[in-house]
Amino acid sequence: MTDPHAKERIFAPAREEAKIAEQQTSSAQTEDPAYRLAFQDMDFLLREDLRPVRFQLELMKPEVLLDEAKIASTLVVYGSARIPEPEKADALIAAASTPAQRKIAERLKANSKYYDEARKLARIASRVGPDAEGNKQFVVCSGGGPSIMEAANRGAADEGKESIGLNIVLPHEHLPNEYVTPRLSFQFHYFSLRKMHFLIRARAVAVFPGGFGTFDECFELLTLIQTGKIKPLPIVLFGREFWSRAVDFDYLADEGTINRADLDLFKMVETAEEAWDYISHYYSTGAGIEEGSQAA
């Protein structure tokens, strides 16, 4: 025996087997869908009773690729897909054709300042270096879409750093914004698995003004912490005026539907610097980056 070491594997790789299968001679048997390799048979994979397998694949793919990219922790940014960057806000007002449309456009312009704050916060977080093992910390992660999400990925790009985009298939077009790192741009079918991936590596979450999607993500996160399903982590809500009008948190506590202590699960802020100071203080007091959410 010239080589005393056993080979690592004795079966041919699936990729090699797939290539062989594609080159098989055509016949009535080989052309029937039943003969396809299961992992190459899209009709089979998309069957209703294969949903559990699709769940597993959608959970695994981003996890494997993020591990390979050495993404250890993330700063997650939630927020509206409609708030414009300040330079484009006036165009919305000019395009308004009714008083109601103009009023909405003016509100969107007033909130466009949060585009800049999201971009600024992402820049600050992207300056955090990797740990001793080369694992990347506080990597910016957004929903991958426009507006506030774009601002977050753009801030990371400003610093020459990678960022993550978790897109979702929607009836209307929702393509990744141009600032998401291509190899860290993922597309989801299931909202539930997308939301899980937002939190698996999250070590801080910034929530900007937004609509149903933002509220869904924010309140699921608060519920998971409130019920002890995940460990606490710093959560900052940008825009005291917006959040105070949108949700009367004090009223919920007064009514007894939440505990008064639940109001400490998050902090309202106005600027990126205020948010980062809060996040930095949170971890400087002993919480530790390794003690993040660990959603599972």
Local structure of residue 173 (DSSP, 8 states): -
Does residue 296 register a pLDDT over 50?
no
Does residue 174 register a pLDDT over 90?
no
Query: What pLDDT shows up at residue 6?
Result: 60
Share of the chain above pLDDT 70, in %: 94
Q: 193-206 pLDDT, tens per residue?
A: 999 999 999 999 99
- Residue that wins the pLDDT comparison between 175 and 168: 168
Highest mean pLDDT among 11-20, 168-177, 251-260, 284-293: 251-260
Burial of 210 (0-12, 13-18, 19+ CB in 10 A): buried
Share of the chain above pLDDT 90, in %: 80
Q: Is the full-model pTM beyond 0.95?
A: no
CA-wise closest residue to 150 among 167, 171, 131, 127: 167
Query: What pLDDT shows up at residue 62?
Result: 97
Query: What pLDDT shows up at residue 201?
Result: 97
CA angle 290, 238, 268 (to 5 degrees): 75
Beta bridge partners of 139: 74
Query: What pLDDT shows up at residue 277?
Result: 97
Query: What pLDDT shows up at residue 293?
Result: 42
pLDDT interval class at 144 (50, 70, 90): very high
Does residue 176 register a pLDDT over 50?
yes
Query: What pLDDT shows up at residue 288?
Result: 46
Query: What pLDDT shows up at residue 286?
Result: 56
Least confident of 53-57, 206-210, 261-265, 286-290: 286-290
Q: Which amino acid is at 225?
A: I
Does residue 8 register a pLDDT over 80?
no
Q: 219-257 pLDDT, tens per residue?
A: 999 999 999 999 999 999 999 999 999 999 999 999 999
CA 123 to chain centre: 17
Query: What pLDDT shows up at residue 115?
Result: 97
Going through the chain in order, the beta strands assigned E by DSSP cover 74-78, 139-142, 163-168, 185-188, 202-207, 235-238, 267-269
Q: Which domains does the chain have, with CATH numbers?
A: 54-83+115-285 (3.40.50.450)
CA 13 to chain centre: 32
